[in-house]
Structure 1
Amino acid sequence: MKDGASTGTTRKVNVLVDPQSPLLFFDSGVGGLSVLAPTRAVLATAPIVYAADSAAFPYGRRTEEEIAARVPALLGRLVERYRPRLAVIACNTASTIALDHVRAALNIPVVGTVPAIKPAAEQSRSRVIGVLGTQATVRQPYVDDLAARFAADCTVIRHGSPELVELAEAKLAGRPVAIEAVRAAVQPMIDQPRGADIDVMVLACTHFPLLAAEMAEAFPGIAQVDGGPGIARRIAVLTEGQAWPREEVPAIAVFTDLAKAPPAASLKKFGLAELHGL
């Protein structure tokens, strides 16, 4: 595992793949766009389908049982409709709860997203790192395991912030985001014992890199680490040798509740030119 990409039982697809077969990205909202962007930098002409379960957003406030049942069912429908070569669960909450269920249900490679604790521990000098995610993600035993394996000599301070998820969605929708609001959403992590010593924080929700500039301004002394670049590299490895279109093709955005989709202009900044419902 590298940089927050969960490999598990992923496998390479046969290289005889239709060049138009897309990469499927799935999230509860727009957070997965922070994973899509670095993937586009590596695979510039890859066809893209970006799916958001806007009808059930935010996942951080859903029960684990609901997520474990809902995510594989939705991905099954998406795979049937769009025939992707690979699926990415671009959501930490969905990955930590439903990744194994999804892999059991689909016959294509599935890349998950997990907190980038290993690179954070490698970078930290104070040996105090913060894990900033949703409430559902930060309480997962998976986070305990990652901390024990890769940050055993660190103090790992967790904080679940649904407010940051909402702020990221607001930013993409074109609404102003106040630095004070971002600072208030993160401050409870800093206020925990030894929180003032945090020098690296793991953005353990794919929404949070969309607020990287605001968090850097609010907490200039704390470095940020997220899993997006590592996931992009993992996708490139799993699709090595496969054919792609010669030129970039319009990407598709899918929302389970179209009324909650961001403005078209915001989506077009990420190359998402078509809007579908599910």
Structure 2
Amino acid sequence: MPKAEAPILLFDSGVGGLTVLAELRKALPEAPVIYAADSAGLPYGSKTEAEIAARVAGLLGVLTERYRPRLATIACNTASTIALGMVRDVLHIPIVGTVPAIKPASLVTKTGVIGLLGTEATIRQAYVDRLEAEFASDKRILRFAAPGLVAAAEAKLRGQPVDQTAIADTVKGLRAMPGGESIDVVVLACTHFPLLIAELAEALGPGTRFVDGAGGIARRIVHLTQDQAFTRTREDFAVTTGPVGEFTELAPALKTFGLERVEKI
């Protein structure tokens, strides 16, 4: 049984994992949390699988050694679909991954046509092929790489204007795919993307539903930590691989997620 003060570690390439943290706060408000952002490595979507796997495994090794978490969550679809197996082989704590929410999307679509927005690295993974074969073999899934949405989400959280061109190009590209006009459910296969639901909903028009994995991740963490004690002996905080000064621009937003300060990894 872990110590009561042992934190839950949330790891992401940037601020997208905050959407997971928001759901975790609802489920386990008393749980101490450390949020880790590999801002220096952003974006992951344009990197090779080997680069992502080595970087994620190395960083999580360092973070686990330093902060002794009871559990770690890779709150990033790209990192999870590529590095989850490697990380589980290396670390000796429970690891919760993030996968595209294809199963719930398949349960709610009426037209049978599902849009899937992710990074270039995520949408090409065999992991996604397997999810589609297992849970949506009788559905049509249209995958579209939307790397511009990562930067748009990061900007929005900093209080900067959202790149409307990135939103428009994503929606136009998704709808232009064969069958795209029939999409009624969109899987947000990047934890950054739920930060842009309002903008995407406006551009896609009424009648489109969005699903993501944040709620499922929170439920999985609750299950893995049941009967464990939680004690917060210090304020929750964020750590980053990038310049602390750049990340502290997010201080007002971070405080809304219960993260009171930022440290350098």
User: TM-score, normalized by length of structure 1?
Assistant: 0.91
1:93 matched to 2:82? The reply is: no
Aligned equivalents of 2:12, 2:25: Cα separation in 1: 17
Q: Secondary structure at the match of 2:62?
A: helix
Is the CA contact (8 Å cut-off) linking 2:113 and 2:140 kept in structure 1? yes
Is the alpha carbon distance of 1:205 and 1:138 closer, same or farther for their aligned partners in structure 2, counting shifts above 3 Å?
Answer: same
- The equivalent residue for 1:6 is none
Q: Secondary structure at the match of 1:61?
A: coil
Please provide the CA RMSD for this pair: 1.3
- The residue identity in structure 1 corresponding to 2:255 is K
Aligned equivalents of 2:65, 2:215: Cα separation in 1: 28
Aligned equivalents of 1:18, 1:168: Cα separation in 2: 35
For residues 98-247 of structure 1, the aligned pairs below 5 Å read 98-177=83-162, 179=164, 181-220=166-205, 221-245=207-231
1:172 is displaced (CA, Å) by 0.7
1:72 matched to 2:57? The reply is: yes
Q: Secondary structure at the match of 2:237?
A: strand
Match of 1:256 among 226, 241, 251: 241
- The equivalent residue for 1:12 is none
Aligned equivalents of 1:249, 1:195: Cα separation in 2: 49
Q: Secondary structure at the match of 1:29?
A: coil
Aligned equivalents of 2:240, 2:170: Cα separation in 1: 27
Which aligned segments of 4 or more residues in structure 1 are displaced greater than 3 angstroms? 178-181
Q: Secondary structure at the match of 2:260?
A: strand
Moved more, 31-40 or 171-180: 171-180
1:134 is displaced (CA, Å) by 0.4
The higher relative CO (CA closer than 8 Å, separation ≥ 6) is in: 1
Q: Secondary structure at the match of 2:228?
A: coil
Is the alpha carbon distance of 1:46 and 1:249 closer, same or farther for their aligned partners in structure 2, counting shifts above 3 Å?
Answer: farther
1:269 is displaced (CA, Å) by 1.4
- The residue identity in structure 2 corresponding to 1:139 is R
Structure 1 unmatched runs, 5+:
1-15
Is the CA contact (8 Å cut-off) linking 1:46 and 1:248 kept in structure 2? no
Aligned equivalents of 1:86, 1:260: Cα separation in 2: 28
Q: Secondary structure at the match of 2:253?
A: helix
Is the alpha carbon distance of 1:35 and 1:141 closer, same or farther for their aligned partners in structure 2, counting shifts above 3 Å?
Answer: same
Aligned equivalents of 1:249, 1:118: Cα separation in 2: 38
Q: Which of the pair is proportionally richer in helix?
A: 2
Aligned equivalents of 2:236, 2:208: Cα separation in 1: 35
Aligned equivalents of 1:219, 1:30: Cα separation in 2: 24
Aligned equivalents of 1:203, 1:68: Cα separation in 2: 22
Percent sequence identity over aligned pairs: 56
Aligned equivalents of 2:171, 2:220: Cα separation in 1: 30
1:101-147 deviations in Å (ceiling 9; x for gaps): 10011000000000000000010010000110001000111111111
Aligned equivalents of 2:197, 2:208: Cα separation in 1: 11
Aligned equivalents of 2:238, 2:47: Cα separation in 1: 23
Is the alpha carbon distance of 1:173 and 1:210 closer, same or farther for their aligned partners in structure 2, counting shifts above 3 Å?
Answer: same
Is the CA contact (8 Å cut-off) linking 1:179 and 1:215 kept in structure 2? no
Is the CA contact (8 Å cut-off) linking 2:171 and 2:203 kept in structure 1? no
Is the CA contact (8 Å cut-off) linking 1:53 and 1:255 kept in structure 2? yes
1:266 is displaced (CA, Å) by 1.7
1:274 matched to 2:261? The reply is: yes
Is the CA contact (8 Å cut-off) linking 1:133 and 1:159 kept in structure 2? yes
1:260 is displaced (CA, Å) by 3.7
Q: Secondary structure at the match of 2:5?
A: coil
Q: Secondary structure at the match of 1:272?
A: coil
Aligned equivalents of 2:58, 2:166: Cα separation in 1: 35
